[in-house]
Amino acid sequence: MKRAMGVINLINEIDFLEVLNRNRCVAAVPFGGRYRLIDFILSGMVNSGMSKVAVFTHMKYRALMDHLGSGKEWDLDRKRGGLFVLPLNTEEHDERAKGDLYQFYCQRDYFHRSKQDVVVITRSHMVCNIDLEPAIQAHLDGDADITMVYKHTADETLSRNRRIRLDEAGRVVEMQDHNGRLVSDNVSMEIFIMTKDFLLDLVETSLAQGYDHFFRDAIMKNMNQLKIASYEYTGYLGIINTIQSYYHHSMNLLIPEVRKELFSKNGLIYTKIKDEPPARYLDGSIVQNALIANGCIVEGTVENSILFRGVKIRAGAVVRNSIVLQNGEIYPGSSITNAILDKDVKVLEGKVLQGDPSAPFLAVKRSIIGQ
Amino acid sequence: MQKKECVAMLLAGGEGRRLGALTEQIAKPAVHFGGKYRIIDFTLSNCTNSGIDAVGVLTQYQPLVLNSYIGIGSPWDLDRKSGGVTVLPPYMKSAGGDWYRGTANAIYQNIDFVEQFDPEYLLVISGDHIYKMDYDWMLQEHKENHADATIAVIEVPWEETSRFGIMRTDEAGRIIEFSEKPKDATSNLASMGVYIFTWSVLKSYLMKDAADPKSSNDFGKDIIPHLLSDNANLMAYRYKGYWKDVGTIHSLWEANMDLLQEKPSLNLNDHGWRIYSQNPNQPAQYIAPTAQLTNSLVNEGCEVAGRVDHSVLFYGVQVEEGSHIIDSVIMPNVQIGRGAVIRRSIVGEGTVIGAGCQIGSVDGEITLIPSGKTII
């Protein structure tokens, strides 16, 4: 959809991913062996024919900037349009506190200068493979101010999300706070479609009323005045903003149908290329039910686990029900179960690490365990 | 165009007839290798890792796949404002125009391309070879020796000398004798097909060579012997390490199997010298509970539910339950049905091997299944 531009809004995105969110925002959290969370929605936008995407960011964005680069991997390194990473553009430091509405306001020139007249606003932590084109078309065909994408699912009890209630016509009549009681199994995907003019108007009037937050204030507090339509997404969805949901949805990737839905249904998911060689399995390796990225060297045992790029599992090491991020190394004779190890973690000889599926063992980036 | 000290010319027109069905549709440098690469990735990566950022790729035979693969050179960081990679097919001129009649003729026809960069030196390499080499070290030696030409050489087993261009050198490393595929070799130093020339010298020899109707316009057969008989300063640059000319099905298979040695002499995991390639953007590989893998190389996008021993799997290969792959090279997007057994084979891109098929034999020649076939 050439008429639409994308905004991936990372401001005030919930980041309860503990060690994985240390020094990196949710968008930059590694997922699925070779991706970062933002890859899913960003690829979805590109696969839906959008060629201009802005990423609103305000904190812990070094890893994100490194990952996105010029946007080349998503075919967004363009002369006109393409990828724009836009940090807060404030005059004073304390304006940071003002929330995302202020950011939209500060970037109004960016919107004005764009030739697109429809805006799709999303978050980065919705792992899905979505074709946004029919949703945008539905918005253009209808008469709603805003169209909101949701999914009907009972599977999202581990993440922090907002439930919505719809009337018979599909209009959104109630939206809950993250902590609210559950009124339905309809979960907001925090994807909003509206015209650019409407967005800018909404931002200005909301700021004038003293509001700070785009969703919590501008939309939820104006529910009664706004006409909000809904669009149902029926593909696989993983809402990743807690360690439990991260672990749960990571393990779901071991299910063939989930992989098919997520990695190829509406197009490929693009990510930064690392030019690692194929994974190497040596004599003595035992690998069962595992998702393994390139550059890995496996001499030991890996079961029900996910290995990111460049992980080394030495002879006699055992990895079960675990997620080992990039360049991790498990030394001979050590064993890890129900664990999430951040990048560059080393587990030295003979160490035994044991977590629980509901509370996985977590290791901080670059830590050396067993020293 | 910005001046470059050294420009590379990469000969990629080779037909690779002995690779049979694998090179029916594509040129030899575009043949898949090592689970994710094409052969030309090694020389292009060597260039970029050596700091050479102006590369002409000379194509002639079946250039479609090769051209689209090279594109503007971004995977090798060769998409540059000045220089970068340029694909150079034969072209028409006001006074005719012709196919490339030989390796030297290919460079001769592109003298204008080289001169744009006003280089001191020209590196001539072949897109058919698999090796990792820092051309900059070789260039430093060339300069220190004030050589007219420097030829990279590697020691080969004496019994194989008749397959190569063989050099005899004096103690200082100066080449005193050169013989192309000799029967009774007096040395076992073989040319790797990597040359550095002082451009002004080479240019005059290319002109002379082009004016000689009897010449076969080849570096090994004409240019080097001429330089030698004129007593030019021809130096050998000794290379130690992995180098392979994958000219035949057997050597292609063997080169893939070399990667499965306990400590492969060609280390692909060297972060200081990465081999770059086009990336097909596939998810991580999935190894199912029924799978069994020993000593194998498996790329992204594969789904393995069968048994894989001592084999190389390219991206997007599906191996169903109960199948068994032994000592084989399985190229991209091949599907292998239940209970199929594949031994000592190379299976071409996109081929479907039906359930229960038996392919290959325990010994004898390597079996080649061409691309895009359905075997039932």
What does the pLDDT look like over A289-328, one tens digit per residue? 999 999 999 999 999 999 999 999 999 999 999 999 999 9
- Best of B37, B267, B298 to disrupt the A interface (most A CBs within 10 Å) is B298
Dist CA B16 CA B31 (whole Å):
10
Interface of A with B in 172-231 (CB under 8 A): none
Nearest CA distance, A308 vs chain B (angstrom): 8
pLDDT score of A245 more than 70? yes
Q: Which chain A positions have a beta carbon within 8 Å of B298's beta carbon?
A: 278-279, 281, 292
| Res B246: pLDDT | 87
Q: How long, in residues, is chain A?
A: 371
Contacts with A263 from chain B: Cβ below 8 Å: 282-283
Our CA-based measurement puts residue B289 at a distance from the nearest CA of chain A, in whole angstroms, of: 4
Q: What value, to the nearest 5°, has the Cα angle with vertex A191 and ends A189 and A197? A: 160
pLDDT of A361 over the 70 cut = yes
| A279·B297 Cβ contact <8 A | yes
Q: B11 and B58 in contact (C-beta within 8 Å)?
A: yes
Give residue A91's pLDDT.
Answer: 76
- Give pLDDT tens digits for A252-279: 999 999 999 999 888 999 999 999 999 9
Give A117-141 pLDDT, tens digit per residue.
999 999 999 999 999 999 999 999 9
C-alpha distance from A168 to closest chain B C-alpha (Å)? 39
Cβ pairs bridging A and B (under 8 Å): 104
Rounded Cα–Cα distance for residues A216 and A178 (Å): 10
Element (H, E) at B325: strand B324-326
* pLDDT at A178 (0 to 100): 75
- Inter-chain touch A290–B287, beta carbons under 8 Å: yes
β-strands B149-155, B189-198 pairing? antiparallel
Terminal-to-terminal C-alpha distance of chain B: 56
Q: How far is B93 from B98, CA to CA, in rounded Å?
A: 9
Residue A97 has a pLDDT of 66
Helix (H, G, I), strand (E, B) or coil at B231: coil
Cβ within 8 Å of residue A199, ≥6 positions away: A104, A111, A119, A121
Name the residue with tokens 């697109």.
Answer: A116
- Determine contact: A144 vs chain B, CB below 8 A: no
What is the per-residue pLDDT for A116?
96
CA atoms within 13 A on the CB side of A84: 19
Rounded CA-CA distance B12/A365 in Å is 44
Nearest CA in chain A to B309: A283
In the structure encoding, which two tokens stand for residue A364, read together?
């901080």
* CB neighbour list of residue B118: distance below 8 Å, 6 or more residues apart: B3, B4
* CB proximity A254 to B under 8 Å: yes
Nearest to B200 by CA among B304, B295, B119, B110: B119
Residues of B within 8 A of A254 (CB-CB) are 286
Q: Which two tokens stand for residue B168?
A: 């005899």
Mutate to test the interface with A, among B33, B300, B325, B333 (most CBs of A within 10 A): B300
Gap between the Cα atoms of A50 and A45, Å rounded:
6
Look-up of token digits 């051209």: B67
**Predicted confidence (pLDDT) per residue in A191-221, tens digit:** 999 999 999 999 999 999 989 899 989 999 9
Instruction: Please state, in angstroms and as integers, the Cα–Cα distance from residue B105 to each residue in B196, B203, B319, following that order.
Output: 17, 11, 46
Q: In angstroms, how far is CA A249 from the centroid of its own chain?
A: 12
Q: Do B155 and B177 touch, CB atoms closer than 8 A? A: no
CB contact under 8 A, B268 and A277: yes
Q: Report the sign of the C-alpha dihedral through residues A176, A180, A184, A186, in that order.
A: positive
Q: Which residues of B touch A276 (CB under 8 A)?
A: 269
- Between CA A126 and CA A133, with CA A128 as vertex, the angle to 5 degrees is 105
Chain B closest CA to A32's CA: distance in Å? Answer: 8
How far lies A150's CA from each of A175, A203, B212, in Å?
11, 23, 76
Query: Chain B contact for A36, CB < 8 A?
Result: no
Query: Which two structure tokens, joined as six digits, stand for A111?
Result: 């919107």
Lowest mean pLDDT among A232-236, A240-244, B98-102: B98-102
Assess whether pLDDT exceeds 80 at residue A236. Answer: yes
Q: Beta partners for B144?
A: none
Give the list of residues 6+ apart from residue B230 with CB closer than 8 angstroms, or none.
none
Q: Are B249 and B18 in contact (CB under 8 A)?
A: yes
Residue A269 near chain B (CB below 8 Å): yes
Establish whether this prediction's ipTM goes over 0.85: yes
Cβ distance A292 to B287 less than 8 Å, yes or no, reads yes
- Secondary-structure breakdown of chain B: helix, strand, coil percentages, each rounded to the nearest 5: 25, 30, 45
Q: For residue A315, which of B310, B294, B326 has the smallest C-alpha distance? A: B294
> What is the reported pTM?
0.93
- As a whole number of angstroms, the distance between CA B113 and CA B58 comes to 11
Query: Hey, what are A89's tokens?
Result: 């553009």
Nearest alpha-carbon partner for B297 in B274, B275, B283, B314: B314
Per-residue pLDDT, averaged over A24-36, amounts to 96
Chain B within 8 Å of A263 (Cβ-Cβ)? yes
Chain B: residues touching A (Cβ < 8 Å): 34-36, 74-75, 262, 268-269, 274-277, 279, 281-289, 291, 293-300, 303, 308, 312-314
| Size of chain B, expressed as the number of residues it contains | 376
Which residues in chain B come in under a pLDDT of 70? none
A95 pLDDT above the threshold of 70: no
Q: A4 forms bridges with which residues in the sheet?
A: A118
Residue B89, number of CB atoms within 10 A of its CB: 14
Mean of all residue pLDDT scores within chain B: 94
A30 has a chain B CB within 8 A of its CB:
no
Of B36, B75, B289, the CB nearest to A277: B36
Query: Chain B residue closest to A278 (CA)?
Result: B299
Distance CA A325, CA A29 (A): 10
- Reference A223, options A142, A164, A181, A149; nearest CA is A164
> Please, where are the H alpha helices in A209-294?
243-252, 256-264
- Other residues' Cβ atoms within 10 Å of the Cβ of residue B181: 13
Output the CA–CA distances (angstroms, integers) from residue B239 to A310, B133, B149, B242, B243, in the order listed: 29, 8, 16, 9, 9
Average pLDDT of every residue of chain A: 94
CA atoms within 13 A on the CB side of A358: 1
Cα(B172)–Cα(B178) distance, integer angstroms: 16
Q: Residues 6 or more apart from B214 whose CB is under 8 A from it?
A: none
pLDDT (0 to 100) of residue A180: 65
Give the C-alpha separation, B357 to B376, whole Å: 6
